[in-house]
Amino acid sequence: MPGLAVCTIDSGKIKWSGYYGFQNIEKNIPVSSRTLFHISSVSKTITASAVSQLIAQGKLHLDDNINLYLPFKVQNPNFPGVPVTVGELLRHRSSLIDDVDYLQPIWDTSKGDPKIPLAVFLKDYLSPGGAHYNKEKNFLTDKPNTLREYSNVGFALLGYLVECATREPYDQYCRKNIFEPLSMNQTAWFLKDLDSNIVAMPYHYSDSMHQFIPYGHGGYPDYPAGELRTSAEQLAHFLIAWSSDGKWQNRQVFDSSTIQLFTPDDIRLGCYAWNIFAAPKGLQVMYGHTGGDNGVFTIMEYQPVIKKGFICLFNGDFNGNSENGKNMFDLVSMIYESLNK
């Protein structure tokens, strides 16, 4: 791995942090507490938290038909009379799916910030007559709320619902209502809003060349699903607030009852947006999310009752079958066990 940043939290505080390797190998810049990593799909927890704020304010409701808010109609063409709800999007049960034939080239080759606005991307993808509307590839043949199918497009749509409900761009909403209140002042969805000197370069390791190859910095139009860049310490601020009844430094950022709705202390009740990570025998089950992208692997987990958690951010490719992948899992397991002692 080129570089790694780790933070652990315990009862509302950062307990320990560590920084290793390089954020940029070519420039010989080491990873530090300031290094900003692309956190990929861990970003979905931020998007879910934005939705939770609007649910607490009564501006969105989990059981609402999303077409109550959208300027264009979204429905599964295989089930035209069945609504898609906000809650189904959060649980990846909306029947809206990712057409990888269209999306993968964008994810793999895009450089810099996205060129297609979020609203345009979603209308072209989900609305009949749109440039990238595809009845077979964009929707399941299963009815909404009958099958879980992980959907980046679904989470991009959640970000757009926040725009529609608040009438302000999603990235600006997050900055004012999440990042600034949580002292995440060097966190942003777009590269243009960050200091490029502290953004970690994503890398791929070439076995044939025996060296790391930089990918460059990319961006894609479904950005609420995975394009956030932040540091381990700043992301820890978010995790502390979420695991501390919504409070950060005595400020109520998230509603405690909505946190219990999304991630209840009793994990058997299920959750919205987060995943449930099974634990080895004798250890606590945890909520969390992982992220993977070109030159990126990230993981964030926490246990709601003991209020402990951890964050690991890597700026390299992940291959679970490789020796490197096994070492990464060993590292995560060690942190997991230390939190439960």
Q: Tens digits of per-residue pLDDT, 271-310? A: 999 999 877 777 788 999 999 999 999 999 999 999 999 9
The Cα 273–Cα 263 span in angstroms is 9
Structure tokens given for 45: 């927890």
Whether residue 310 contacts residue 9, with contact meaning beta carbons closer than 8 Å, is answered with yes
pLDDT score, position 321: 59
Whether residue 97 contacts residue 138, with contact meaning beta carbons closer than 8 Å, is answered with yes
Burial of 280 (0-12, 13-18, 19+ CB in 10 A): exposed
- Using alpha carbons only, give the angle 91, 93, 97 rounded to the nearest 5 degrees: 115
Whether residue 231 contacts residue 186, with contact meaning beta carbons closer than 8 Å, is answered with yes
Structurally, the chain folds into a number of domains equal to: 1
Helices 43-56 and 152-166: crossing angle in degrees, nearest 10, is 40
Burial of 294 (0-12, 13-18, 19+ CB in 10 A): middle
- Using alpha carbons only, give the angle 84, 86, 89 rounded to the nearest 5 degrees: 75
pLDDT score, position 322: 64
Domain that residue 317 falls in: 3-339
Helix, strand, coil proportions of the chain in percent (round to 5)? 35, 20, 45
pLDDT score, position 337: 77
Average pLDDT, consecutive stretches of 10 residues, N- to C-terminus, the chain (341 residues): 95 95 97 98 98 98 97 96 97 98 93 95 97 97 96 98 98 98 98 97 90 94 98 98 96 97 93 88 86 94 94 87 69 76 67
Residue where the block lists tokens 């044939």: 208
Of residues 229, 227, 249, 252, the one with CA closest to residue 237? 249
The Cα 222–Cα 39 span in angstroms is 14
| Domain CATH number, residue 194 | 3.40.710.10
Q: Rg of the chain's alpha carbons, rounded to an integer? A: 19
Whether residue 19 contacts residue 224, with contact meaning beta carbons closer than 8 Å, is answered with no
pLDDT score, position 224: 98
